[in-house]
Structure 1
């Protein structure tokens, strides 16, 4: 490892070095998967070791130290991703595959009854420090010996180099060779080849289709989900809840068989309803984790190919069965559209933000990483109610949080857990508990019969979040008028400015910004400057209509004070010709309500 582990309790009986020579050396642009993980690593900062995962490989009885070292060297030679470092400065991110190098390999001795415990301790030790992606190979290794023979191999991988699917390929190859299999020909498809494909016309076409999918989902009415008052709930920033509910897992399987969909769709539908009830919306956008291992050559690629893909679950006036079918269809489409350049996706989001005038928040993620989803269905409602009494929720606190909400289903069979991790400055602890419990209630109630649309809120039992008196509902989510007014005055460069909300279609509000004209900027420049203030703030929105006046208003108590003033310019700020000058409703309409009255 590039850095010395601080823990000095564990001491190896043998410190060896794995040497690789004569392997392929080359470089190329980073893959989409690598770019995706690089963003997460940067966001994690000093907590980047959260993106290190470990694998323990039981070894055959006849395995000896020399044989294990030989297989390890062959695997390092075989998979280029295990010898890759990255150049992240001075231009586009590049991957560099080393043709030779060394890797530390320590071996620890213990008695047979302590192997599992020691392997677990080694796993924690190997991932204690984040990887240095610019100088360190993305794998660390150690072995546990009993009687001088290797019993368990412990591996730690940097997620930027490979995902769990890639790790399964690596460990399967190790086990095959340790059992006497020959190495065979090197894989023909490596990460550099994947990057070349992504830059090819075929790869660009795949990315374009995926971006079109995202664009279709990001309608103005579903721009963001976590449009909540920012808060401070003490030193504990991120909360992780692990719900062990055999009732929910079995009920999800029962409902899935009844509707002929996946059990993941049932849990996702419940998540959409519980979160939607909490946040007062009937359309929730998730980011699913697409494995992108459906077909070759990506299926056998040892790399990180999993990417986030947008998925819209709509439960407007739907029964729960309809929501589940909707979720199933949405996930199928999302997974098909799962391959996309994350930088191009970021550019699309910024483009859409300028268009709608507010921050787009794809900050609710959902993943089903269960290794075995087979469970015995429980068709009896009585049995499921009894199982619910055995539900346990374990609460953990973490200092690091990338923000947003992360939902995961993982484990094996009925012992699987439903995990909810959330930033409590966005969703307080009590709210997170309510959402998780609401998901369980919905899934269990849906096992044997449908839940009518009118009963979804009642069954979920989630209390809607209270935002405050000066929040109004706009397309794309709720808006804090006080915060928006503050930003508008900074952008207008004068305190003689105000924002008013007027009723629009479908129960939404439209924002109109008035200001004293103090310079000769165009409305387009003003709108773009407002958008530049959005950053990670989901509670503000650029006005839909701008009116700049020659003189200050007679009174700023309400909108009437601005009536009759000479107007310098007005429009929507989109710089799109005459249409930008046509207000959706008369700007002088006195039917509009003052900001303080619109909450």
Structure 2
């Protein structure tokens, strides 16, 4: 029985953890579209500004975002979407304390954890990348926080849900790690024992998942105190006292996007009462591995590649000087397009490359067009999980690769094929010690007068390379409509805005499976809002036109509706 009188609930032998969980599971799977205002390609902006946070991956440097968007539109943190089923829970043998009184905002439960190991180690290379970003941003580092929602599958009681959270924390050392600056450099310190306070929030008449999404965003607006605070915050969202979801935010020092996806899958397994595979590789192990000679040699190879590129790369993303910025200066413009997804899948199959390479080639081509150049230089966010030991590790190993698109011919098809090859080159050279990399970049800056500006990025956040919810076009049509006609149903909107982040242009492919999501963070001193919007629509137009012809690169401005931007509107 779950107690709400402030007493401890025993989940060991003879307690709740030994009992079967009964009740019918409710299916909550499948991707859900955002609620958008009716109308094709509506004007950007609109009423209903609200603070939101939903990035699970390193994006840059900034402050808590102010959300701007169409009335009724919501941007959701990612969550798992596979239903649970009836199961018996294993005996975990630990305690969960629940508070006195009915669940309400401000009430809290305490989860006690007792891990298998404690210790101290240097940071992994992925953690070093974030450590530097955290200290560059200072008070604005909350930009890096990672909101996440874990739905509760089936009819689970509060003690069961909190006990499952405890198991996650005990299994994965990164979730009980603090991060400290020392005279010898930053270190991670893993706790063996501790407590996590979980807020309890009654959803009332609202949908519980929507409440969880909102709360996870709210939890993300405050920067973590990394040397004193566990790298996660949590609230349990309840309906009539029954837990429906956990709203969380994580420090990006502790997790990357892939780690969050892995946690979601493990959460389902644990709720079913099953035992997941052992968690036997942790950030402390990875940090030790990266100090070995073979990994240091890999880092040196990557840094040599970057040096060769940076010795000749343009010093700026754009040649034109900054103009008067809009307010707020930094915005994220989003687009949802079924035509984009269908065209990308068709072209990827035709050209025998990935949909990521098709989208990357299109984004880089449009960026080069707007910058008035034939070549594009961008950073690619890369998961860096090719090593079998890191594929299932909960931690942060992601780093940035350096991508150069220099098309070998005058056709867009060859540009995308070259983007595919160049992306693999970038990925092969995306495993390095960020501290050594920064020393090299500073040396380049001394030689060239200043460091090259690399504030153009591309990130594909999908976990699969297709869109299962988008029908494959037959004879160039979906449900009797041509892809060109489907572009009339494309939605664009301003999804986020900030007073300060360090990006000129950042393309992100969203994780929706029933539409093509593409967004662009833009510095409006260089790319006004309408130019950013036109760039997204230009990517869509380029892919749709490429279905019928190999678009000459000289024709890209006409096809996309964007040309070289000179810094004036």
| TM bucket, shorter chain | 0.7 to 0.9
Q: Give the corresponding residue for 1:456.
A: 556
Q: Give the corresponding residue for 1:521.
A: none
Give CA deviations for 1:535-554 in whole Å, capped at 9, x if unaligned. xxxxxxxxxxxxxxxxxxxx
CA spacing shift, 1:230–1:188, aligned 2, 3 Å: same
Q: Give the corresponding residue for 1:250.
A: 342
Q: Give the corresponding residue for 1:377.
A: 472
CA distance, structure 1, for counterparts of residue 563 and residue 556 of structure 2:
12
Give CA deviations for 1:56-99 in whole Å, capped at 9, x if unaligned. 22223342222222222222111110011111243311111112
1:383-462 mapped onto 2 (5 Å cutoff): 383-395=482-494, 396-462=496-562
Distance apart, 1:410 and its partner CA: 0.4
Gaps of 5+ in 2: 1-102
Query: TM-score, with normalisation over the residues of structure 1?
Result: 0.72
Distance apart, 1:466 and its partner CA: 2.4
CA spacing shift, 1:461–1:403, aligned 2, 3 Å: same
2:331 pairs with 1:239: yes
Distance apart, 1:422 and its partner CA: 1.0
Question: How many residue pairs align between the two structures?
Answer: 458
Determine if contact 1:74/1:183 at 8 Å carries over to the other structure: no
CA spacing shift, 1:429–1:68, aligned 2, 3 Å: closer
CA distance, structure 2, for counterparts of residue 44 and residue 364 of structure 1:
18
Determine if contact 2:220/2:249 at 8 Å carries over to the other structure: yes
Distance apart, 1:317 and its partner CA: 4.1
1:259-298 mapped onto 2 (5 Å cutoff): 259-298=351-390
Give CA deviations for 1:536-593 in whole Å, capped at 9, x if unaligned. xxxxxxxxxxxxxxxxxxxxxxxxxxxxxxxxxxxxxxxxxxxxxxxxxxxxxxxxxx
Distance apart, 1:248 and its partner CA: 1.8
CA distance, structure 2, for counterparts of residue 188 and residue 228 of structure 1:
51
CA spacing shift, 1:107–1:306, aligned 2, 3 Å: same
1:315-330 mapped onto 2 (5 Å cutoff): 315=407, 317-330=409-422
CA distance, structure 2, for counterparts of residue 216 and residue 30 of structure 1:
27
2:164 pairs with 1:71: yes
CA distance, structure 2, for counterparts of residue 452 and residue 403 of structure 1:
29
CA spacing shift, 1:43–1:237, aligned 2, 3 Å: farther
Determine if contact 1:87/1:95 at 8 Å carries over to the other structure: yes
Q: Give the corresponding residue for 2:133.
A: 40
CA distance, structure 2, for counterparts of residue 272 and residue 203 of structure 1:
31
What secondary structure is seen at the aligned counterpart in 2 of 1:299?
A: coil
Q: Give the corresponding residue for 2:73.
A: none
What secondary structure is seen at the aligned counterpart in 2 of 1:413?
A: coil
Give CA deviations for 1:299-322 in whole Å, capped at 9, x if unaligned. 111111111110101126420000
CA spacing shift, 1:240–1:312, aligned 2, 3 Å: same
CA spacing shift, 1:430–1:57, aligned 2, 3 Å: closer
2:322 pairs with 1:227: no
Give CA deviations for 1:105-149 in whole Å, capped at 9, x if unaligned. 122334586322332332233223121111100011121223433
Determine if contact 1:370/1:416 at 8 Å carries over to the other structure: no
Q: Which of the pair is proportionally richer in helix? A: 1
CA distance, structure 1, for counterparts of residue 498 and residue 206 of structure 2:
32
Name the larger-Rg structure: 1
CA spacing shift, 1:363–1:390, aligned 2, 3 Å: same
CA distance, structure 1, for counterparts of residue 313 and residue 209 of structure 2:
52
CA distance, structure 1, for counterparts of residue 535 and residue 162 of structure 2:
49
Determine if contact 2:128/2:434 at 8 Å carries over to the other structure: yes
Distance apart, 1:212 and its partner CA: 2.3
CA spacing shift, 1:193–1:273, aligned 2, 3 Å: same
Distance apart, 1:435 and its partner CA: 2.2
CA distance, structure 2, for counterparts of residue 110 and residue 413 of structure 1:
27
Q: Give the corresponding residue for 1:466.
A: 566
Determine if contact 1:43/1:402 at 8 Å carries over to the other structure: no
1:72-91 mapped onto 2 (5 Å cutoff): 72-91=165-184
